[in-house]
């Protein structure tokens, strides 16, 4: 990790280049840079100790069918790249863990199906958990690596082909209502958290220069807008489903931001709801998928036009993470264990530092 480089990124993103050195220091400190650097370094050391021999990462469970290597490998690679550890190159310094990142990216490329009805689907035998959530995280990781990967044109071509196949799979499996379901097939079923993953992956691919059907994104945006409960501002688990959560609301707002909505009435209503039920500020109880929600909450607070909301939320989140990190650098999740949680939390802590194009305002 390179804390000095992090501070440079912070300066650029906050506009601190137009201020004095003291102001720059104060702005950097407001992000808790030193504390986060320590937490993330420790988390990454834990992840690297738990990288599989084939380059993947997985949930540590007794049954291989529950290991979710596609999703967890995507998240771990994203977290490492967010700290400046880029896919290793023969002649360039890409960070202390560059080789580990390249192995993870290679594994994802190798597991992108290249033929048949599931061409473009990221899958490995017995992974019954990742499914389309894993598709989204794998695509995110590869799009963020696309400009920095490979020692030659053959390697880069393989990566780019996998990304485009993955995009094509997402597009042709969009459901009739505009959302997506757990399996890689077009369906009448749909679910909000999966739809968020698909939209963010498509947006990242488009930003990286890949061909993305704008009609698919338009339909998905309408799906997300219709899933908002107008009476509370929260977002539903699915259309015509009464379940709403803080995590889904955060994910939907981050998605609206990603598609260019920074000030609509829907967005403002959603932010009011997000603040009223935020578990990190004592406004709501614990969430079943709190780490998942935090990943999107950090993004939407960071992108929101009123910077005060991020400044109010960020210290509470950082403090919560510092209290929750174990001595071995890991974080925990009741259902999905240490490796998943450590990858997700360490990735979230790096949102404001902007190494990944995904996180840049």
pLDDT, tens only, 163-175? 999 999 999 999 9
Task: Output the CA angle 283-335-180, nearest 5 degrees.
Answer: 80
pLDDT for residue 225 is more than 70: yes
pLDDT for the residue 64: 57
Q: Encode burial over 157-175: b for 16+ CB neighbours within 10 A, e otherwise.
A: ebbbebbbbbbbbbbebbb
pLDDT, tens only, 268-309? 999 999 999 999 987 766 677 899 999 999 999 999 999 999
pLDDT, tens only, 123-152? 998 898 999 999 999 999 999 999 877 667
Average pLDDT over residues 334-358: 93
pLDDT for residue 6 is more than 60: no
Q: What phi-psi label fits residue 90: left (phi over 0), alpha (psi between -120 and 50 degrees) or beta? A: alpha
pTM: 0.89
Q: Quick one: CATH architecture of 31-211+221-330+338-359?
A: Alpha/alpha barrel (1.50)
pLDDT for the residue 12: 34
Q: How far is CA 28 from CA 5, 178, 231, 307, in A?
A: 12, 41, 38, 15
CA distance 305 to 315: 18
pLDDT for residue 72 is more than 80: yes
Mean pLDDT, rounded, of the chain: 88
The domain limits of the chain are 1-30, 31-211+221-330+338-359
pLDDT for the residue 331: 97
pLDDT for residue 81 is more than 90: yes
Average pLDDT over residues 227-249: 94
Which residue pairs, CB below 8 angstroms and at least 24 apart, start in 5-13? 5/84, 6/33, 6/37, 6/83, 6/84, 6/353, 6/355, 7/33, 9/353, 9/354, 9/355, 10/352, 10/353, 10/354, 12/354, 13/352, 13/353, 13/354, 13/360, 13/361
pLDDT for the residue 60: 73
Question: Which residue would you say has higher pLDDT here, 3 or 253?
Answer: 253
């Amino acid at each position: 990790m390179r804390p000095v480089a992090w501070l440079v990124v912070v300066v650029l993103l906050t506009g601190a280049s137009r201020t004095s050195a003291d102001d720059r220091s104060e702005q950097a400190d407001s992000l808790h840079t030193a504390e986060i650097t320590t937490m993330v370094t420790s988390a990454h050391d834990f992840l690297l100790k738990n990288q599989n021999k084939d380059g993947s990462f997985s949930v540590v469970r007794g049954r291989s069918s529950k290991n979710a290597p596609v999703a967890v490998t995507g998240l771990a690679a994203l977290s490492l790249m967010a700290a400046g550890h880029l896919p290793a190159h023969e002649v360039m310094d890409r960070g202390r863990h560059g080789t580990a990142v390249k192995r993870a990216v290679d594994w994802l490329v190798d597991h992108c199906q290249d033929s048949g009805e599931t061409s473009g689907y990221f899958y490995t035998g017995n992974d019954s958990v990742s499914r389309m959530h894993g598709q989204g995280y794998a695509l995110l990781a590869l799009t963020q690596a696309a400009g920095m990967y490979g020692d030659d044109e053959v390697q880069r071509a393989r990566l780019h082909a996998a990304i485009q196949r993955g995009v094509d799979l997402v597009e042709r499996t969009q459901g009739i209502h505009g959302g997506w379901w757990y399996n890689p097939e077009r369906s009448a079923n749909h679910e909000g958290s999966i739809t968020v993953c698909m939209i963010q992956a498509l947006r990242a691919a488009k930003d990286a220069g890949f061909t993305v059907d704008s009609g698919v994104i338009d339909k998905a945006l309408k799906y997300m807008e219709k899933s908002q409960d107008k009476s509370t501002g929260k977002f539903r688990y699915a259309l015509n489903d009464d379940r709403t959560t803080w995590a889904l609301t955060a994910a939907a707002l981050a998605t609206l931001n990603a598609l260019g909505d920074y000030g609509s009435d829907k967005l403002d209503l959603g932010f009011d709801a997000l603040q009223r039920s935020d578990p990190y500020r004592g406004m709501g109880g614990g969430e079943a998928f709190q780490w998942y929600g935090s990943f999107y909450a950090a993004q939407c607070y960071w992108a929101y036009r009123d910077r005060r909301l991020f400044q109010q939320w960020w210290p509470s989140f950082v403090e919560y993470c510092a209290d929750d990190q174990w001595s071995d650098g890991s974080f925990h999740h009741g259902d999905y264990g240490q490796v998943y949680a450590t990858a997700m939390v360490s990735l979230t802590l790096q949102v404001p530092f902007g190494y990944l194009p995904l996180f840049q305002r």
